[in-house]
């Protein structure tokens, strides 16, 4: 048996497979294209004034004003607890999504937001449509984790698009982190509801970047439409 010959044939097949994969990725559409391993030119350009600390306290006090990059958690294990937060009984009628920002056209103070949604120091907590309506009326940051094409067909008004399946996800995440947002302030994430896990995956990524108050809209876009919430279409403005 000629071992040298078999080794060369195997190496040739592996090389051919790699080249085919690279060519296929180059020709793929935006939704299907994958970023190459190590192709993250901005990964190390996080604002130095908000340095990451892996020794941060496990449970920051409710209402604390920790900076957006106050900790990097090594506890992201892909199995975050999905704990629905019951809607408080005092939700006023005026905060329904159908009435939206007409009911409250100015942002709430951080203290008001943190009183109802304190940092939980977990990748995410699931919330209801009533909670999202309350937060939407107070202009919190909302992230749409669906693919860009689907986002452009319709999304929650004002939501930003960050698809976990597209090659620019790291670029968009780096831009968000560099805004130096307060990581304790609530951020809403959603996708298509039901079995969709895109918003949960995005939350796990952001949790590792210092955001510790991520709220996943468990029923997602279909529920928002059903409620008559304020929506928009087209590319992100």
Q: In this structure, which topology does domain 44-232 adopt according to CATH? A: Oxidized Rhodanese; domain 1 (3.40.250)
Tokens matching residue 185: 């302030």
Is residue 137 very low, low, confident or very high in pLDDT (cuts 50, 70, 90)? very high
Q: Is the pTM of this model over 0.95?
A: no
Give the chain as a 3 state SS string. Answer: CCHHHHHHHHHHHHHHHHHHHHHHHHHCCCCCCCCCCCCCCCCCCCCHHHCCCCCCCCCCCCCCCCCCCCCCCCCCCCCCCCCCCCCCCCCCHHHCCCCHHHCCCCCCCHHHHHHHCCCCCCCCEEECHHHHHHHHHCCCEEEECCCHHHHHHCEECCCEECCCCCCCHHHHHHHHHCCCCCCCCCEEEECCCCCCCHHHHHHHHHHCCCCCCEEEECCHHHHHHHHCCCEECCCCC
Once rounded to an integer, what is the mean pLDDT over residues 141-164? 97
pLDDT exceeds 50 at position 136: yes
For the chain, which residues make up each domain, given as ranges? 44-232
pLDDT exceeds 80 at position 48: no
pLDDT exceeds 50 at position 109: yes
Once rounded to an integer, what is the mean pLDDT over residues 139-159? 97
Once rounded to an integer, what is the mean pLDDT over residues 162-185? 94
Tokens matching residue 14: 């592996």
C-alpha pair distances (Å), 85 with each of 50, 94, 113, 208: 30, 20, 14, 22
d(CA 207, CA 209): 5
Once rounded to an integer, what is the mean pLDDT over residues 1-11? 74
pLDDT tens digit string along 57-105? Answer: 344 444 333 333 333 333 333 444 444 443 433 333 333 443 443 334 4
């Amino acid at each position: 048996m000629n071992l040298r010959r078999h080794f060369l044939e195997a190496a040739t097949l592996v090389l051919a497979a790699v080249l085919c994969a690279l060519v296929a990725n180059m020709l793929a559409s935006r939704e299907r294209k994958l970023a190459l391993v190590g192709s993250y030119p901005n990964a190390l350009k996080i604002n130095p004034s908000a340095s990451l600390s892996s020794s941060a306290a496990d449970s920051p006090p409710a209402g604390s004003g920790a900076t957006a990059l106050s900790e990097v958690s090594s506890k992201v294990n892909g199995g975050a607890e999905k704990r629905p937060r019951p809607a408080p009984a005092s939700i006023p009628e005026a905060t329904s999504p159908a009435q939206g920002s007409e009911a409250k056209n100015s942002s709430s103070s951080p203290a008001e937001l943190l009183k109802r949604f304190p940092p939980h120091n977990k990748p995410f907590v699931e919330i209801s449509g009533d909670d999202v309506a309350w937060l939407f009326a107070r202009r919190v940051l909302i992230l749409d984790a669906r693919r860009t094409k689907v986002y452009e067909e319709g999304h929650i008004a004002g939501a930003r698009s960050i698809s976990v399946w597209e090659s620019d996800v790291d670029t968009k995440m780096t831009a968000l982190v560099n805004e130096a947002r307060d990581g304790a302030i609530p951020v809403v994430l959603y996708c298509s509801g039901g079995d969709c896990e895109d918003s949960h995956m995005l939350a796990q990524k952001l949790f590792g970047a210092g955001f510790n108050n991520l709220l996943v809209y468990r029923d997602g876009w279909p529920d928002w439409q059903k409620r008559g919430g304020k929506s928009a279409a087209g590319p992100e403005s």
